[in-house]
């Protein structure tokens, strides 16, 4: 190498300044940011997460199910307000089951295949759930069912966040026998799968207690013609009535009881399907002194519940009330959201598996999904209707109760036969005989 070359090289080095180094570093950083941002847009999915909400906005069940929609929407709004899930917003599609079982099935299929919903929160009646179940199972999808029901079912594709029979029905019967000293029971329900199965469970329990069933009757689904059933109760003179009547029928039933002069001090009713929300629609005086069995009441004195009630009222109005199904619907969304966060994906199978490990400090107390049955541990409460449409709690389990979907009074196969026989007899999940009318 010549001396001239050395001089030229040194001259070049001498012209490189610290300022130029800083500029180069900043340029490289800026380039890296641009590349990272481009990769982020390409690699991270920021599309909305779609969820389905499937309840009755019309028909006789709308009186109960509309508030479940409100609860689920509020929980989803709160999730979005806190940043969404996995960096993505959540978008919900509301489908109207219209209190009609085939419509529920069609809408479930639409939510899964057309709307591409990652989960369905839905149903109230067991007839609607039974109709949706084959759709969800065929798609290997996920239904979160936020309603107390008869049990006698488990499905890998369903998370049950309402009560199993041992978390609502059997504690209420035991309480009536022990505390009210009831020995003569009248069972009345709407004429579809849930009340028939509930009353079979109760009948077994009454036999074990040595108590008497003095009557069992079923009101056609959605009917408000209930006077003949009230007459049967008056004639039977039971110590207590156990009521699994739903929707518009239960409101008419309590009106008719009042008109017939059946006083709760003489013949109290324990209802499994009427709560604070339904009481807004009728004269509270018709129900004061009767009882309800649920896993949540608005009057529960816990800070978590006071916050829950305040949030619901702030969103929907101070005249609104909360109830068991409202709490269960909200819990359902929160449990699912926690499972999405834990699994780091919206993949249905992975989220479904993660839900089996979830728990919450819920408004009613600590709840948890049972990994074996995919039902939910929940506390149990019995309460008496007050004049203001709220409830005074008269008994509670204190802690969450393990769900038992199949009561031990019969074998699992025997319970399965009962359900299959009813379905075969009716040709659906409700009694739609000529005399009764209704839907299947």
Order of all β-strands in the sheet with 90-96: 90-96, 49-55, 120-122, 143-145, 158-160
Within 8 A by CB and 6+ apart from 63, the residues are 247, 248, 251, 278, 281
Of 3.40.50.2000, 3.40.50.2300, 3.40.50.720, 3.20.20.10, the CATH number of 167-299+406-426 is 3.40.50.2300
For β-strands 381-385 and 291-294, DSSP reports them as antiparallel
What does the H/E/C string look like for 106-151?
HHHHHHHHCCCCCCEEECCCHHHHHHHHHHHHHCCCCEEECCCCCC
Q: What is the mean predicted confidence (pLDDT) over 388-408?
A: 97
Q: Assess contact for 351 and 339: CB atoms under 8 A.
A: yes
Q: Binning pLDDT at 50, 70 and 90, where does residue 24 land?
A: low
Q: H helices then E strands: how many in the chain?
A: 14, 15
Whole-number percent of the chain with pLDDT over 90: 83
Average the pLDDT over 181-209 and give the result: 98
Tell me the two tokens of residue 316. 């929907």
Q: What H or E segment, with its residue span, contains residue 212?
A: strand 212-219
Say whether pLDDT at 63 is over 60. yes
Instruction: Report CA 328 to chain centroid distance, whole Å.
Output: 4
Q: pLDDT value at position 315?
A: 98
Across 34-48, 77-91, 292-306, 411-425, least confident range = 34-48
CA distance 161 to 145: 6
The structure's pTM equals 0.87
217: its two tokens: 């009757």
Which residue reads 């995919």 in tokens?
Answer: 374
Q: Which of 6-20, 107-121, 350-364 has the least mean pLDDT?
A: 6-20
Report CA-CA distances (Å) from 65 to 60, 77, 158, 247, 358. 10, 19, 19, 9, 25
Superfamily of domain 49-164+302-379 in the CATH hierarchy: Response regulator (3.40.50.2300)
Domain boundaries, the chain: 49-164+302-379, 167-299+406-426
**Low-confidence winner among 40-54, 302-316, 363-377 (lowest mean pLDDT):** 40-54
Average model confidence (pLDDT) across the chain: 91
Q: Could you tell me the CA-to-CA distances from 224 to 229, 245, 250, 251, 281 in Å, in that order?
A: 11, 11, 8, 8, 15
Q: What is the CA radius of gyration of the chain?
A: 28
Reported as a single tens digit per residue, the pLDDT across 268-315 is 999 999 999 988 877 778 799 999 999 999 999 999 999 999 999 999
| pLDDT > 70 fraction of the chain, expressed in percent and rounded | 88
d(C-alpha 218, C-alpha 60), whole Å: 16
């Amino acid at each position: 190498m010549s001396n001239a070359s050395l001089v030229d090289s040194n001259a070049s080095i001498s012209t490189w300044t610290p300022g130029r180094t800083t500029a180069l570093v900043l340029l490289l950083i800026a380039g890296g940011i641009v590349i990272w941002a481009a990769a982020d847009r390409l690699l991270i999915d920021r599309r909305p997460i779609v969820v389905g909400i499937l309840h009755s906005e019309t028909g006789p069940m709308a009186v109960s199910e509309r508030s479940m929609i409100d609860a689920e929407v509020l929980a989803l709004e709160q999730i979005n307000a806190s940043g969404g899930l996995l960096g993505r917003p959540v978008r919900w599609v509301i489908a109207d089951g219209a209190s009609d079982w085939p419509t529920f099935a069609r809408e479930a299929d639409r939510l899964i295949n057309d709307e591409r919903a990652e989960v369905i929160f839905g149903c109230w009646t067991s007839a609607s759930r039974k109709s949706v179940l084959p759709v969800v199972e065929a798609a290997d999808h996920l239904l979160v069912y936020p309603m107390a029901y008869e049990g006698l079912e488990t499905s890998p594709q369903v998370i049950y966040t309402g009560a199993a029979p041992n978390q609502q029905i059997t504690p209420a019967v035991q309480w009536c026998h022990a505390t009210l000293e009831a020995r003569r029971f009248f069972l009345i329900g709407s004429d579809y799968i849930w009340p028939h199965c509930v009353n079979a469970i109760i009948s077994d329990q009454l036999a074990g207690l040595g108590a008497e069933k003095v009557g069992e009757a079923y009101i056609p689904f959605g009917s408000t013609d209930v006077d003949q059933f009230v007459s049967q109760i008056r004639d039977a003179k039971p110590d207590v009535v156990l009521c699994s009547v739903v929707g518009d029928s239960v409101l008419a039933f309590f009106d008719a009881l009042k008109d017939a002069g059946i006083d709760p001090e003489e013949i109290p009713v324990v209802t499994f399907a009427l709560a604070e929300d339904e009481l807004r629609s009728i004269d509270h005086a018709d129900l004061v002194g009767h009882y309800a069995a649920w896993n949540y009441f608005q009057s529960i004195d816990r800070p978590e519940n006071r916050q829950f009630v305040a949030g619901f009222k702030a969103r929907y109005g101070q005249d609104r009330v909360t109830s068991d199904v409202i709490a269960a619907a909200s819990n359902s969304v929160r449990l699912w959201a926690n499972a999405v966060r834990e699994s780091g994906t919206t993949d249905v199978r992975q989220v479904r598996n993660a839900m089996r490990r979830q728990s919450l400090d819920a408004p009613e107390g600590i709840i948890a999904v049972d990994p074996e049955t995919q039902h939910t541990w929940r506390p149990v409460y019995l309460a008496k209707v007050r004049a203001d449409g709220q409830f005074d709690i008269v008994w509670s389990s204190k802690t969450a109760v393990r769900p038992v979907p199949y009561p031990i009074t019969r074998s699992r196969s025997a319970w399965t036969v009962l359900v299959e026989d009813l379905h075969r007899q009716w040709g659906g999940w409700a009694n739609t005989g000529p005399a009764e009318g209704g839907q299947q």
